[in-house]
Structure 1
């Protein structure tokens, strides 16, 4: 009882300007079983009740009978929640606008506004801190754990400490520059939408160099809106017959293709026309989905780090200054998708053996072995079996392969090091639950494909030697001349790194690159579709 009295005394000092009848009415309301007679439900009702009880029922958003500057700031941020990729409707904005439109407000109406603002503030900061939904619900293939965030009452405690609403909300949002670049891009696309957006006709896919007319004009306007046609903006004001598909338009189209991961040849084709046909509303949602993923992450990523963006088919090495190294990658096929997770590189293996995963052995190699067991010899794969509780090498010829089924397959297949090894000459080990590595590959021609979903989940890199050189540059006693000598011998060599390098496998279908260009990629695994359905966008 004494503790409760002290809390009441402190809260009185905190808000000496509080209206006593208002405070008494607020207390009476919070001690009721139901806070609202109307069909209004607070998302954080237990937290709201607990906070006011702890602080002696002191109003947060009112000074006397007027809304404070913090309240006015919060209302404006809630109305503009779309600029954070969130939805104003989730923060009671409609009913707040209705209540605020009545002037003057009675005490009970002000109490309604007070409680709704507190609930909205808690929800908004929680969504900025953690996202509107959780990955376990919206994306089962997202396995990146983030540290526990502050408790639900954190934003209100910060407010009690005289920190402005704007600072609290800005601190709650992800702190990575990549998030704020996406936020800036979202604002621009919302403005494009509000000014009428763009349209792209199906017959536009037949456009070719030298064509004139309204479809060329539509293409020019679209490319100008998206920032791809920058050389001569006046082109969009020309008449139908003055609009020519010339080198100027071709350059704009090439810029568009580069930003969408398409072959940048500046000519119209089916994939380019399909990308042009995606509406500004759909692109806005695509940006918002990726902002949601940023909110699932730690507030700041580790540096230096290897960052793989699966839909981009790309790996970059990042430090605090930016990108140091970039290369194309091959990722998991549809039935063996590469998940999103994080780890740290601990070991570089030169001339690795490949211990064939059970799934690949049974689903891919067993049917080939049953047709011709000599495939093992051609691929330089050794066969091992269990004898007296240990693995021993077996002769493939001694096995009656026709009697072996996926259920009875009890062997281990190991491919020798060498130029034909599927992991190439380098393997980068970062322990994880998925049996996934980053590694070299002898199948270099696959990097010429635009959509590179060919692996069984591992990340195959185009320039493994450059990546190895970067990772091993600070390893004492391991210069590149010595490593080259090891490469000439088909003998595995494991080199432990002196410091761990973080690895992030991400799934971004929209981001703003280091040149400040908004990039879009296809949703290769359908994970945008699943997230969108959960968020009801």
Structure 2
């Protein structure tokens, strides 16, 4: 049966206008298709087309078989679903999703060319595939993170596609169903707003000329100061001003900018500050697009109640209770070397160890300490040499030159002390990468602006205060309890009665509670790699002048 549908108007827009003309033109086809279950001896063209098109996808095949191949997109009653889907696809690029991959324009064109049951059946499955692609991308991310970067150990949650389609088909409000696919974290909406604001600034020409100077400070004058003034104004840090002098207002604006970038807020525009100020809106847009993707990876995690939030490029750790930060400390994270970068993953903190011994990881023993001891047997004398039976072995009894990294038979351990590499407390969330939070005797590193110095674990600037906060959930006097154990000098494990989720994340763009987005440097270059992967997947960068 052939129906002349080429002239049917197809208008499914952001305002929610349904494909009404198409629905009317296909009402007869839908009715006939609905009466032809696959169990019949003769299959309608519509049913056979669905069965064939869905055969390569088990979830789709099972979904349509379970409903006797009745449509959810291409019958007269499906207008609200079509309108909801096209409305979402039309603005998908605004969420940093690959709109060209869904190609709503081509889908509309296919509606206009349907002339048979078979064509309608093929279009029915095509719409379901696009819906599942979009739903997956907006819910849990466009990329498989660990396939892009091995240091990202995170496995985003995945919805069952058949269950998702079944729930959508049964939904009384398809538009609301699709809206609810996106992350509920308030930061997602805040990042979307920041993206729109940046797009507007790009449309107005960006932030103006770059600042050509090595260093600018109060009292300076000249063209570079004017460029700095103009750029600060366009970025929203400085009110209207015609000054050509680096005055107090410019100094305050620079300080505010530095604070938002995680820089030392000294009010002097040195090389590091100017490098950040000269970042273009496009550069910031890349950070936001990657941040949106990273939030989608977190979608489905329970971020209610209490959790620990470690943002690697921010060099910080927070305890968040019911959405509010109740503890914050600076941190030191892993060095930017292939085997020392702090990975990204989520886990649960189960216990803390007060007065910990440091059991040196095998990689550090063989790569760092063994060569030192081969040159000088007494090197790293603060560490004990331990045999397979747990006994301390005198250095004088070992011929270190006889061993290699492969066959070195000893472990190394540092007993509890003020000089212990782990400091006086460590916080454990057991994981295969042997990453945890801990104290450190190297306090001077916390004063540095960029703090990527560790072997991968996260050193905490105020570890005792973190311990007090965590113990506060199970002790009437957490400070006294901690100090009592500390003063004993004995290694003591303290279980947390209620394990606390820990999220090691990597956000170079992150909104404050007020929605103002702060930026950080891409210390490991991960965002640059992820943005390239997003572009390959079809995500577009709104472009204009820098």
Deviates more, 1:158-167 or 1:432-441: 158-167
2:28 is the alignment partner of 1:20? yes
Structure 1 residues 384-399: aligned runs within 5 Å: 384-386=386-388, 390-399=389-398
CA distance in 1, matches of 2:245, 2:443: 40
* Match of residue 530 from structure 2: 531
CA distance in 1, matches of 2:312, 2:421: 20
1:257-309 Cα offsets, whole Å, 9 max, x none, are: 22222222222222222222222122212211121122222424343111111
* Match of residue 186 from structure 2: 177
* Match of residue 367 from structure 1: 371
Shift of 1:206: 5.0
Shift of 1:220: 3.6
1:504-527 Cα offsets, whole Å, 9 max, x none, are: 111112111234321222222222
- After TM superposition, the score normalised by the length of structure 1 is 0.83
Shift of 1:67: 8.6
Deviates more, 1:516-525 or 1:437-446: 516-525
Structure 2 residue matching 1:422: 3-state secondary structure: coil
1:187-232 Cα offsets, whole Å, 9 max, x none, are: 2222222332234425255544445566545434433343333xx2
* Match of residue 495 from structure 2: 496
* Match of residue 342 from structure 1: 346
Shift of 1:33: 9.1
> Which residue, out of 138, 143, 161, partners 1:128?
138
Shift of 1:433: 0.7
Shift of 1:476: 5.1
Shift of 1:132: 1.0
Shift of 1:407: 2.6
CA distance in 2, matches of 1:215, 1:43: 64
* Match of residue 302 from structure 2: 301
Q: 1:113–1:204: structure 2 CA closer, same or farther, 3 Å change rule?
A: farther
CA distance in 2, matches of 1:226, 1:35: 55
Q: Is this contact kept in 2: 1:186–1:287, CA < 8 A?
A: yes
Structure 1 residues 342-491: aligned runs within 5 Å: 342-377=346-381, 379=382, 381-386=383-388, 390-475=389-474, 479-491=478-490
Shift of 1:341: 1.6
2:95 is the alignment partner of 1:84? yes
CA distance in 2, matches of 1:490, 1:529: 46
CA distance in 2, matches of 1:228, 1:144: 36
Q: Is this contact kept in 1: 2:140–2:299, CA < 8 A?
A: no
CA distance in 1, matches of 2:518, 2:70: 48
Structure 2 residue matching 1:172: 3-state secondary structure: coil
Shift of 1:45: 7.0
Q: Is this contact kept in 2: 1:260–1:521, CA < 8 A?
A: yes
Deviates more, 1:172-181 or 1:458-467: 172-181
Structure 1 residues 84-233: aligned runs within 5 Å: 84-96=95-107, 107=115, 117-149=127-159, 151-201=160-210, 203-205=212-214, 207-211=216-220, 215-229=224-238, 232=239
Structure 1 residue matching 2:387: 3-state secondary structure: strand
* Match of residue 6 from structure 1: none
> Which residue, out of 317, 320, 326, partners 2:319?
317
2:278 is the alignment partner of 1:245? no
Deviates more, 1:136-145 or 1:329-338: 136-145
Q: Is this contact kept in 2: 1:17–1:63, CA < 8 A?
A: no
* Match of residue 3 from structure 1: none
Q: Is this contact kept in 1: 2:334–2:453, CA < 8 A?
A: yes
CA distance in 2, matches of 1:449, 1:369: 31
Shift of 1:365: 1.8
Shift of 1:59: 5.0
Deviates more, 1:16-25 or 1:359-368: 16-25
Structure 1 gap ranges (5+)? 1-14, 37-41
Structure 1 residue matching 2:298: 3-state secondary structure: coil
CA distance in 2, matches of 1:28, 1:43: 15
2:278 is the alignment partner of 1:274? no
CA distance in 1, matches of 2:120, 2:434: 58
Q: 1:134–1:43: structure 2 CA closer, same or farther, 3 Å change rule?
A: farther
Q: Is this contact kept in 2: 1:310–1:506, CA < 8 A?
A: yes
Structure 2 gap ranges (5+)? 1-22, 35-43, 540-546
CA distance in 2, matches of 1:30, 1:228: 61
- The number of aligned residues is 500
Q: Is this contact kept in 2: 1:176–1:300, CA < 8 A?
A: no
Q: 1:245–1:30: structure 2 CA closer, same or farther, 3 Å change rule?
A: farther
CA distance in 2, matches of 1:96, 1:17: 17
Deviates more, 1:306-315 or 1:397-406: 397-406
- After TM superposition, the score normalised by the length of structure 2 is 0.82
Shift of 1:446: 0.3
Q: Is this contact kept in 1: 2:55–2:61, CA < 8 A?
A: no
Structure 1 residue matching 2:434: 3-state secondary structure: coil
CA distance in 1, matches of 2:199, 2:75: 35
